[in-house]
Amino acid sequence: MYKILKNQRGMTLVEILAAVLLMGLVSVLILNVLVESTNQYKEQLSKDKQLNDVSYVLKVITKDMRKSTASQINPIANGIEVNGNKYQFDKSDYTIKKNNETLINNIDTFTVTKSLNDNEWNIYIKEKSDNRSKLTEAKTTIVLRSGDK
């Protein structure tokens, strides 16, 4: 009988519970890291999409302006008209539209200003705040060639 009590080949209930508890803690930590990584990925993907959209709108407007002469570029309410195309900021739904067709959503500010010298235009776009630490904003200056006046 004494030999049976000294047999230590098996595991006790306390050892099994300790192992299950440790595996549970490690699993919770790993799951936490995975969830946080997924949230970070989604946030970054959204930010990248907005930056890409803002860059696209700037590219469209600047390309249109470079193809036009100075006389074909005119400021209008909440935007600019370039060679018959109207780029306007719609404050009611926070969009920039080209000829009443939406180019980009979630915009807070869209300004187009003419510099003191007649052949320079400044464009500024800023996204609408959604409580993120850094907002997407882009600005550019278009200098028209002097022969286009």
3-state secondary structure of 89: strand
Q: Quickly count: other Cβ atoms within 10 Å of residue 94's Cβ.
A: 16
Q: How many Å apart are CA 34 and CA 36, to the nearest integer?
A: 6
Find tokens 């990925």 and name the residue.
41
State residue 48's pLDDT score.
87
State residue 148's pLDDT score.
44
3-state secondary structure of 85: strand
Q: How many Å apart are CA 112 and CA 68, to the nearest integer?
A: 16
What digits encode the pLDDT tens for the residues 8-56? 677 788 989 999 999 999 999 999 999 999 999 998 998 888 888 889 9
What digits encode the pLDDT tens for the residues 46-105? 888 888 888 999 999 999 998 888 888 888 989 999 989 999 999 999 999 999 999 898
